[in-house]
Amino acid sequence: MKVTDRFIKYVKFDTESNTETGITPSTPGQMILAREIEKELRETGLEDITLDDNACLMATLPANTDKEIPAIGFIAHLDTSPDLTGKNVKPRIVKNYDGKDIILNRENNIVLSPVDFPEMLDYKGQDLIVTDGTTLLGADDKAGIAEIITAIKYLQEHPEIKHGKIRTGFNPDEEIGQGAHKFDVEKFGCEWAYTIDGGPVGELEYENFNAAGVKINIQGRSVHPGYAKDKMVNALIVANKLISLLPASDRPEHTAGYEGFFHLTTVSGTVDSATVNYIIRDHDRDLFEKRKRLMIEAVDFINKLYPNSTTVDIKDQYYNMREKVEPVIHIVDLAFEAMQAVGVTPIVKPIRGGTDGAQLSFKGLPCPNVFAGGHNFHGRYEFIPVRSMEKAVEVIVKIAELAASK
């Protein structure tokens, strides 16, 4: 089965994760997909296949050489982002893209245009996989799953390529920051691994944001508006005041590169009570801590204006994996060399987001991130070039080969 066929098969499974369920996996569709992949791995002939109650699926491709070679792993996640529905995904292949607008959904006038996404022109003449404009596509990270399994199958069929023990790992709930919490690193049994969860072809990342989630509860005082003078405290107005205290320049839409941000994700409520949710991100640990303090100071100020109205809960989610990967930087160099060997120009840059590799690195499994090939993740304009997926397969194979040769 080609990588394209696998990918199209996987994206039709609804695996959107959910922050509210409090269980792992957070949605049943992730386990359904895990069982389907488990069946495929057994048919492929892999060994040591395990699927636990948390939908963490692991398997082994045994070494085909007696040479002493470290066991390495390749990891991808089962879930898709809750930012847009992943139900009833209808993937379509646009053959030989001509550089013009792609009509995703004529009825709803949804158009994927190089005017808005000029990177599309980098793939003129290639086949692109797109959505019908009503869902995300799911290349994040079902492309990674398809690429890993296709690469493993290729290694099985080409025993002349010598490699050590290779472990595959597929886990749930990466998109809600809970995927790696229950990933058993000791059971996985590798010296290092790679998440195949990056963006466009060539991306190679070993730095990511430090991350925290913020929940702010505001208690207002609801009074009939006709008699509200000097009595009403409108929780929605208080929320608006709180939001205005944080620097507008430090929002995602105004930042790039190593710059961090405060990202307002939801505001809900009534006059009586309101809830505000943020995520805080920064590559620099000191600046990250400073951002958390600034959030607390803003809440303290609000409580001076409206005594005892507002509480804040800040929870760290993950940290920058650079400090764990740099001491073993040869694993990044290996991926860099593998890309060059298959004709891919490596693009080494920080992740403006997170990855399971961050949590896994702090659990003792150094884990750089390699491209899966997609663009515009988490939205209806998501697309992935077929050639990019094929190149990801080649890179995985080459990493395994180079690890054995070195």
Question: Backbone dihedral region of 159: left (phi > 0), alpha (psi from -120 to 50 degrees) or beta?
Answer: alpha
Token pair for residue 399? 């990493």
How far apart are alpha carbons 36 and 78 in whole angstroms? 11
Question: How many other C-beta atoms can be found within 10 angstroms of the C-beta atom of residue 379?
Answer: 13
Of residues 16, 140, 141, 174, which has the active-site annotation?
174
CA 65, chain centre distance (Å): 34
The yes-or-no answer on residue 98 being catalytic is: no
Q: What are the residues facing 167 on neighbouring strands?
A: 60, 73
Q: Is the peptide bond before 141 cis (omega within 30 degrees of 0)?
A: yes
How far apart are alpha carbons 397 and 320 in whole angstroms? 27
The yes-or-no answer on residue 116 being catalytic is: no
- What is the H or E stretch that residue 242 is in? helix 235-245
Q: Compute the half-sphere exposure of residue 377: CA atoms within 13 Å on the CB side of its CA.
A: 21
CA 107, chain centre distance (Å): 31
Question: Backbone dihedral region of 258: left (phi > 0), alpha (psi from -120 to 50 degrees) or beta?
Answer: alpha
Q: DSSP secondary-structure letter at 137?
A: -
Strand order in the sheet with 92-94: 92-94, 128-130, 383-385
How far apart are alpha carbons 385 and 209 in whole angstroms? 27
Q: What are the residues facing 314 on neighbouring strands?
A: 214
Of residues 14, 79, 140, 356, which has the active-site annotation?
79
How far apart are alpha carbons 154 and 184 in whole angstroms? 27
- What is the H or E stretch that residue 318 is in? strand 310-318
CA 195, chain centre distance (Å): 10
C-alpha distances (whole Å) from 74 to each of 208, 326, 369, 396, 399 are 18, 19, 10, 8, 10
Nearest C-alpha neighbor of 166 from the set 55, 50, 69? 69
For residue 13, what are the contacts with CB-CB under 8 A and spacing of at least 6?
29, 32, 33, 36
Task: Give catalytic residues, as residue numbers.
Answer: 79, 174
